[in-house]
Amino acid sequence: MNVFKKINLLALVGLLTIASCNKKAEEKEDNKAQAYIEDVKQEYAPDKRVALFDVEATQANDAYILKGESNLPDAVSALKEKLNAEGISFTDSIQLLPTTDLEGKTNGLIKISVANLRGEGKHSAELVTQATMGTPVKILKNNEGWTLIQTPDGYISWVDYGGVIGLTDAEFEDWKAADKIIYLNPYGKSFEKADLKSQPVSDLVAGDILEVLSDKNGFYEAKYPDGQKAFVDKVEAMGYSDWVASVDQSGEDLVMTAKKLMGLPYLWGGTSPKGVDCSGFTKTVYFLNGLVIPRDASQQVHTGKLIDSTKNFENLVPGDLLFFGRKATDSTGERIIHVGMWIGDQKFIHSMGNVHISTMDTTSADFDEYNYNRYLRTKRINNQEGKGLLYLAKKDIFMAKKDSTSVKE
């Protein structure tokens, strides 16, 4: 092929590509149904991390075919109502989740000390968050050894088959009704016998929750979500009901918990004592004090009460969350990219490289100028109400609520 033929061929390919792109753009512009899909998505699922509405419309003659999947029945119904109201013909081929092939096992429990949850169903995908043992999840669908789940804070992600067990409604209610323990040491082990020298069964981390069968020689006899049994040192754990009644998110307790995690390595997507990112750290600290907060810094910033936005740290109290990032400009929006927790004395603790303490004292030798310069605001979570804040003492996701009628005489 000579150089002129090659140039002509490249030019032809370029023209065909442009024509194809123009055609797709015209089709998208003429796609009336797609505009309503975007409206519904904005209303019901503006944050894809916690709501799934992956729907598109393709034209077929004078009608549309709605394809995709969603875990939001109300959103799907709203879309169909809008299309019907506008006289737009369509065929509904949207897959509602959970899928029917789950055979009723739409409840799940994390069954290992820490499960890695990913953005896609493959080990090479981004680690987006983690969940500790005993965390109840909603199971949405299975695909080739991976399960799409939704955690109590609403996060939607994928876990491999080794991290979760599916339960029917009846099985899940039995689990919720059972007595439990919560492991409180940053990390440790369970054992085959009530003896620290016996064979370990598995590792454990702070926040792991297991059924308790009995106690023996200073150990809890515990049952894992998958049925295996082991013994847990009572010094390192506590009855779950007693624990829930004892925690109150006080500043002193939050600081004490945070300092127990000092030096923990930074891990993108980490929310456990095996590694934490910045928001994973604040989330873990609050969870170990009985409060579930949103997963990411950009979500956490929308909870609680505004305390400061001018670098006036006098009104801050231990437990307040400090947010950092980029301020909004005429052409770009604000971007929250970091969070830490105030501990008092002009200091905050955060995960950046590792979990460590920094100071906002401009006269100190170890003044954190970098974070001081990108500081945006402080929010108070303690004793606040609102979307995304789940107090375990009020809305217990691990235990069935007990009332007087259920107590046997």
| C-alpha dihedral, 214 to 220 to 224 to 229, nearest 10° | -70
Distances (CA, A) of 203 to 41, 112, 167, 183, 381: 41, 8, 23, 11, 31
Distance of alpha carbon 185 from alpha carbon 228, whole angstroms: 21
Q: How far apart are CA 385 and CA 293, in angstroms?
A: 11
User: Which residue is catalytic, options 21, 123, 338, 356?
Assistant: 338
- When pLDDT is averaged across residues 21-41 and rounded to a whole number, the result is 73
CATH number 3.10.20.600 given to 178-246 = no
Q: In whole angstroms, what is the distance from residue 358 CA to residue 364 CA?
A: 10
Q: What tens digit of pLDDT does each residue of 263-276 get? A: 999 999 999 999 99
User: Could you give the count of Cα atoms lying within 13 Å of 161 in the half-sphere of its Cβ?
Assistant: 4
CATH architecture designation of domain 101-175: Roll (2.30)
Model's pTM, two decimal places? 0.89
Indicate the residue type of 374. Answer: R
Domain ranges (residues) in the chain: 28-96, 101-175, 178-246, 251-391
Percent of the chain predicted with pLDDT > 70: 91
pLDDT beyond 70 at 338: yes
Is residue 225 scored above 90 in pLDDT?
Answer: yes
| Catalytic (active site) residue 278 | yes
What are the distances in angstroms from CA 185 to CA 71, 251, 261? 36, 20, 10
Distance CA 124, CA 141 (A): 20
- Alpha-carbon span 93 to 74, nearest angstrom: 16
Q: How confident is the model at residue 331 (pLDDT cuts 50, 70, 90)?
A: very high
pLDDT at 402 over 80: no
Weakest-pLDDT range from 47-56, 195-204, 206-215, 399-408: 399-408
Q: Helix 73-85 and helix 32-44: axis angle, to 10°?
A: 140
Catalytic residue among 21, 278, 302, 356: 278
Catalytic residue, chosen from 123, 302, 350, 356, is 350
**Burial readout 277-305 (b: 16 or more C-beta within 10 A, e: otherwise):** bbbbbbbbbbbbbbbbbbbbbbbbbebbe
The CATH fold assigned to 28-96 is Histidine-containing Protein; Chain: A; (3.30.1340)
Locate the DSSP E strands across 61-135. Answer: 63-70, 90-96, 107-110, 114-118, 127-132
Give the C-alpha separation, 187 to 209, whole Å. Answer: 13
Matching CATH topology for 28-96 and 178-246? Answer: no
| CATH 3.50.50.60 is held by the domain 251-391 | no
In the residue annotation, 350 being an active-site residue is answered as yes
